[in-house]
């Protein structure tokens, strides 16, 4: 959604207020929440049907669906298939949209004659890209694995999975307000004022 927003802002700046209206923002947010909620309900309902007759300790920081499925003592092929479909819908498809959005954005930026315009356009995208890289990089590490690695991960692999899930589940949401707030002129001025005051007090 954010990649599309930046695509419209840079490639169609004059039509931005018309295309990205409040109704469109509300619709985009509702689609994101609704689709994510439906996916969670499907994954949870399928996992709840499984028998868990062995070890009931989840070797994970969070109650990740993969960590739960590893404890099941039944065939989880259906769960893996639904996870694969979910990966296509929520990982591959959004990444393709982001990739093509930024390809169009890059072409538009390169065609700009003004250096100030190019710098402003790059600044518009600079906050979004680090979040995308951290978020999707860590999720791909966990969910885009071969089936054998998903089911029979070793303890070291599980520890790294836990660490990576902390990144996309905790670190990325914490980084979001910091990254986007630092682009605000008032926040920048306040940070500069605090920094200058601290360095002034030290001297």
d(CA 6, CA 9): 5
Residue 30's pLDDT is 93
Look at residue 148 in the predicted model and tell me its pLDDT: 47
| SS3 call for 38 | helix
Residues 100/7, Cβ–Cβ less than 8 Å: no
pLDDT beneath 70, residues of the chain: 55, 59-63, 142-162, 164-165, 168, 179-185, 187-188, 198-203
Tell me the two tokens of residue 167: 């990144």
Q: What is the pLDDT at residue 120?
A: 76
Which among 48, 39, 125 is positioned nearest to 90, based on CA atoms?
Answer: 39
pLDDT for position 91? 83
Q: Read off the pTM.
A: 0.68
Instruction: Give me the residue spans of the domains in the chain.
Output: 2-202
- From residue 115, give the alpha-carbon distance in Å to each of 110, 118, 126: 10, 5, 16
Q: What is the CATH number of domain 2-202?
A: 1.20.1070.10
CA distance 174 to 177: 6
Predicted local confidence at residue 134, as pLDDT: 76
pLDDT digits (tens, 9 = 90+) for 11-46: 888 888 898 888 998 999 899 899 989 998 999 899
Count Cβ atoms below 10 Å from residue 42 Cβ, excluding itself: 15
User: For residue range 133-149, what is the model confidence (pLDDT) as tens digits?
Assistant: 777 777 777 666 654 44
* pLDDT value at residue 60: 64
Q: What is the full DSSP assignment across 67-121?
A: HHHTT--S--HHHHHHHHHHHIIIIIHHHHHHHHHHHHHHHHHHT---HHHHHHH
């Amino acid at each position: 959604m954010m990649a599309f927003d930046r695509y419209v802002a840079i490639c169609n700046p004059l039509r931005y207020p018309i295309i990205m209206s409040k109704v469109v923002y509300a619709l985009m947010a509702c689609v994101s929440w609704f689709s994510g909620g439906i996916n969670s309900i499907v994954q949870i309902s399928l996992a709840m049907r499984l028998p868990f007759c062995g070890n009931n300790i989840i070797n994970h920081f969070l109650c990740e669906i993969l960590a739960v499925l590893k404890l099941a003592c039944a065939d989880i092929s259906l769960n893996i298939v639904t996870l694969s479909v979910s990966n296509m819908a929520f990982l591959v498809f959004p990444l393709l949209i982001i990739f093509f959005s930024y390809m169009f954005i890059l072409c538009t930026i390169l065609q700009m004659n003004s250096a100030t315009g190019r710098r402003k356009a790059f600044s518009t995208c600079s906050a979004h890209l680090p979040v995308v890289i951290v978020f999707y990089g860590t999720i791909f590490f966990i969910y885009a694995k071969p089936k054998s690695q998903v089911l029979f991960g070793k303890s070291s692999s599980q520890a790294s999975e836990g660490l990576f899930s902390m990144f996309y589940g905790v670190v990325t949401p914490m980084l979001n307000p910091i990254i986007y707030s630092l682009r605000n002129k008032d926040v920048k001025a306040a940070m500069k004022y605090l920094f200058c005051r601290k360095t002034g007090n030290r001297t």
